[in-house]
Amino acid sequence: MKEGFVNVDTLIEQVKLLGDMELQAYLATLSETDRQAFIVSNVTDTVKSVDTSKSSKFGELLDKVTGADNNITSSAYYVNRTKDIAELTKDLDDMTVKQLNVADINSSAARRQYEINEWSNFNKLDTLYIFQITLISLSLIGVFLYLSLKGIISDMQFKFTSGAIILLALVIILLRWRYTNVARDGRYWHKAHFARQYGPKGSICPKA
């Protein structure tokens, strides 16, 4: 037949009870003087045991407190280092933003200066074109004047031809002047302004 399991808690309580009964029986056999000496001896041992336990516990707690203090000190150091790194990173970000702003300003100024130089150069070329038209016109008039003086062509033909040349030169110069001062964009030489045009449904197209 299989035996049941023994309840350990019950067994411990029974052992404690037997120990207390044995201690009481032992104290009953002692005289009053021996009983006092036994009690004093046990109290002294108990105090020593408690003192040793407290000292050991205090040492453990002191070690834990020391470890916690070291951890706090290390944490404070890391916090300060993190703050320094964060401030350094912020300074680098601010410096980068300033450099980007300066680069953007310089880029805008360089682009605008390029536009100004381009407009000025093409304006000079346009002026040179006008001078060329004038020189060609005067040269042709000079040729026809020479032919008129030599009697190859009549004075009427010279006047008609010279007037036509002068009129053509004036028309070309006037058209170029009007386009530059009215239609041409003031910033981009190759861009022109056009009048607004109405769409199929009466909507106004945006001005270029």
- Going by C-beta distance under 8 Å and a sequence separation of 6 or more, which residues neighbour residue 126? 176, 180
Euclidean distance between CA atoms 52 and 33, whole angstroms: 28
Average pLDDT, rounded, for the chain: 75
Number of H helices and number of E strands within the chain?
3, 0
d(CA 129, CA 148): 28
Q: Which of 18-22, 100-104, 202-206 has the highest mean pLDDT?
A: 100-104
Among 111, 103, 105, which residue's Cα sits nearest to residue 187? Answer: 111
Q: What are phi and psi of 89, to 5 degrees?
A: -65, -40
Query: Which pLDDT value is given to residue 12?
Result: 65
Predicted local distance difference test score (pLDDT) of residue 1:
47
- Cβ-based neighbours of 82, under 8 Å, separated by 6 or more: none
Residue 164 has a pLDDT of 92
Give the residue-averaged pLDDT of 81-88. Answer: 78
Using one digit for the tens of pLDDT, what is the confidence trace for 105-144? 877 788 888 888 888 888 888 889 889 999 999 999 998 8
Residue scoring higher pLDDT (203 or 34): 34
Cα–Cα distance between 27 and 155 in angstroms, integer? Answer: 167
What percent of the chain is modeled with pLDDT above 90?
Answer: 10
Nearest 10 degrees: CA dihedral of 39, 40, 41, 47?
110
For residue 208, name the pLDDT band (cuts at 50, 70, 90).
Answer: very low
* 139 touches 162 (CB < 8 A): no
Confidence of residue 174 (pLDDT cuts 50, 70, 90): very high
Share of the chain above pLDDT 70, in %: 64
Task: Reply yes or no on whether the pLDDT at 2 is more than 50.
Answer: no
* Size of the chain, expressed as the number of residues it contains: 208
Predicted local distance difference test score (pLDDT) of residue 80: 78
From CA 50, how far away is CA 58, in angstroms rounded?
A: 12
CB 184 within 8 A of CB 194: no
Concatenated DSSP letters for 25-89? HHHHHS-HHHHHHHHHHHHHHHHHHHHHHHHHHHHHHHHHHHHHHHHHHHHHHHHHHHHHHHHHH
